[in-house]
Amino acid sequence: MSTGTRPSARPRPVSAGRRGPESLSALLAHRAELEPERPAILSGREKLTFGSWHERADAVAAGLSTRGVGAGDRVALLYGNGDWIDYATAYLGVHRAGAVAVPMSDRLAPAEVRRLLGHSGAAAVLHRAELTPPDAGTGAWAAPVEDIETYPGSELPPPAAGDLAQILYTSGTTGTPKGVAATHANLAHGCTLDARRRPLGHSAHFLHAFPVGTNAGQTMLINALDAKATAIAAPRFTPGHFARLIERHAVGSVFVVPAMAIELLGTEQVRRCDLSGVRLLGSTAAALPQSVALGLSRLFPQAQIVNYYTSTEAAPAQTTMLFDPEHPDSPGRPASLRDLRVTDDAGRVLPVGETGEVWLRSPTMPRSYYGEEPDTAVFSGRWVRMGDLGRLDADGFLYLVDRERDVIKSGAYKVSTLQVENALHEHPAVVDAAAFGVPHPVLGMTVAAAVVPTGNLTATELRVFLMERLAAHELPGHVLFRESLPRNEGGKILKRELRRLLDDEVRP
């Protein structure tokens, strides 16, 4: 923890002629000076203007500094979906203090919070008022942000572009979450100081319901700082309420994860709302199943459906894939192929049509795993391995075959779980579905499926339906019917939990 005094300096407004801000703090200062009364975030009945955001962040920074938190110190931020305004205030306050933000969801188990606090070496925890964070045994102090921002703003130097700004933990769908470290330059890359170039300018509002502590949530926080449109952060996601927000605010840009899209399509109440103002429907976290993407095209007839392809490790590298209903088995054609490649195991770029590993190139210095030696299997110069197998066709469409870790090796065959899931979603009585591998004494692995059905769908009926769409070795040998599928905060299906559920069901 820093205890020394720091030289006085106040972030000066940055000329819009520069290429972009060096930090999110600089961007906030710029917008607060030019449009202090403009709403930046709406959440429930609360509103945060750019002027108030800047003043409150300055006060948080002063409070942290008074308590001895300074350059390089890690500060955990433990908030929920209903706390977006306090969270945004705390996050920018940590940056103004020169410290490192460590976002966490308040839905994490206490043991996991303790682990992340210990791993990050957090000096402090800022949290929502009603929450008592677990003691990590590291000496970190904890306080609600309201208690910290009672100090008057003070003169603090702006953070440097290359300084560590954030540690964001991965979803941990297959193992222990890793802390991904990002600098101020990573986070601010692509942001603009030119009001004429602000993104999402086709409407007054954009809408999301992404959780705090996820990469998707952090993207929305940056959008709130950078976009022309005001962010609406829904405190919770229910399809009916989400659709009413679209109608009430004439929302032009909507951001979801596939699980949310599936719920929107499955709720009749949504179709009674006016959704005609939506021009952009963006999905992230995982590729949309084919039938879901086509359903969204019908539900939002004026909208371009976009798959945003990135990861916690790769950001700000991101490929925007425009969904084309004439190529439903592809998530879309990347807007640019300059920073995407498909390679073999040795890293050689493969010809069009051949399946290999998908990589994205970061436009700035890539991120890294905090507290670990450089992982050359993931980070190679400015290229970041995405963990997906895919191919490009002659027209530039990307086809994702599967997550590398999810490919099922069954006898002499390799089975794509994405292909099985797309086939499952085609059944009219299937609301949600996941395919995964389970051990087999002869084949090594075989296919299993977990399905959320409507009505009295049977495993036999489902297999008969699938026989026309899948090869024999792709047919699920086990079908598990559930009322819902286990997902993490970011909306990704936890397949390890499905394997446990299946083990419990078949165990004698």
pLDDT digits (tens, 9 = 90+) for 122-162: 999 999 888 877 776 667 899 999 999 887 766 788 899 99
Judged against a pLDDT cut of 80, whether residue 108 lies above it is answered with yes
**Res 1 pLDDT > 70:** no
Residue 152 pLDDT = 73
Q: How confident is the model at residue 173 (pLDDT cuts 50, 70, 90)?
A: low
Q: Are 99 and 148 in contact (CB under 8 A)?
A: no
> How many Å apart are CA 429 and CA 328, to the nearest integer?
20
Half-sphere exposure of 325 (CA within 13 A, CB side): 10
Is residue 167 predicted with pLDDT exceeding 90?
yes
Q: Which of 261-265, 284-288, 381-385, 394-398 has the lowest mean pLDDT?
A: 284-288
Q: Which of 17-26, 178-187, 362-371, 418-427 has the lowest mean pLDDT?
A: 17-26
Average pLDDT over every residue of 224-251: 96
User: 16-20, 91-95, 370-374 — which one is most confidently predicted on average?
Assistant: 91-95
The residues near 131 (Cβ < 8 Å, ≥ 6 apart) are 78, 106
Region of poorest pLDDT, from 146-155, 210-219, 292-301, 317-326: 146-155
Helix, strand or coil, per DSSP, at residue 269: helix
- Tell me what the pLDDT averaged over the chain comes to: 89
The predicted model scores a pTM of 0.86
In sequence order, what are the residues at sequence separation of 6 or more whose Cβ sits closer than 8 angstroms to the Cβ of residue 340? 319, 334, 358, 359, 360, 361, 398
**Among the listed ranges 15-19, 257-261, 268-272, 427-431, which one has the minimum average pLDDT value?**
15-19
Q: What is the biggest distance separating any 2 CA atoms in the chain, rounded to whole angstroms?
A: 72
Q: Which residues contact 277 (CB under 8 A, 6 or more apart)?
A: 203, 246, 250, 251, 252, 302
Please check the confidence at residue 433 and state whether its pLDDT lies above 50: yes
Compute φ and ψ for 406, nearest 5 degrees: -95, -10
- The rounded percent of the chain whose pLDDT value lies above 70 is 93
**Angle between helical axes of 24-34 and 84-96 (0-180°, round to 10):** 110
- The pLDDT score that the predictor gives to residue 32 is 97
Q: H-type helices in 272-337, by residue range?
A: 290-299
Q: How far apart are CA 60 and CA 65, in angstroms?
A: 9
Q: Would you state the pLDDT for residue 175?
A: 62
Q: What is the reported pLDDT for 60?
A: 95
Place of tokens 């490929």: 319
Residue 469, class by beta-carbon neighbours within 10 Å (0-12 exposed, 13-18 middle, 19+ buried)?
middle
Residue scoring higher pLDDT (52 or 153)? 52
Q: Which domains occur in the chain, in start order?
A: 24-188 (3.40.50.12780), 195-403 (3.40.50.12780), 407-506 (3.30.300.30)
Higher pLDDT, 98 or 129: 98
Q: Which two tokens stand for residue 419?
A: 């292909």
Give the whole-angstrom CA distance, residue 123 versus residue 141. 7
Q: Which two tokens stand for residue 141?
A: 């102090």
